[in-house]
Amino acid sequence: MSSPIDAFLLKTMTSNAVLSGGIQSADKEPDLPIFVPVMTLTLFSALSGIPRDILRGNCDKGYIPTHFLGRRRVVNVSLLNQKLLEKKV
């Protein structure tokens, strides 16, 4: 179930500024990278292209690190990035 916050974040994060690598001011200053340490399953699903049911299953199995903030489950994007960078190919 999508919340209004998820819809707003999805719209904001998929704007042209974000897709081009960051936010650029009107004065043409350097782009600032956007970093979000945690995000909801719905938003992570939309941005990654992984269906929500499959994402939930992977979270339940421990493949994707999650935490509960109140009653909402969020993906720990920071820890996921760290695990992926440490993984040997």
Q: How far is CA 26 from the centre of its chain?
A: 26
Q: Rounded to 5 degrees, what are φ and ψ at 75? A: -85, 130
Q: Residue 18: pLDDT band by 50, 70, 90 thresholds?
A: very low
The answer on pLDDT for 45 being more than 90 is yes
- Structural domain boundaries enclosing 41: 4-86
Judge contact between 42 and 2, C-beta under 8 A.
yes
Place of tokens 């974000």: 18
Q: What is the pTM of this model?
A: 0.63
Judge contact between 74 and 41, C-beta under 8 A.
yes
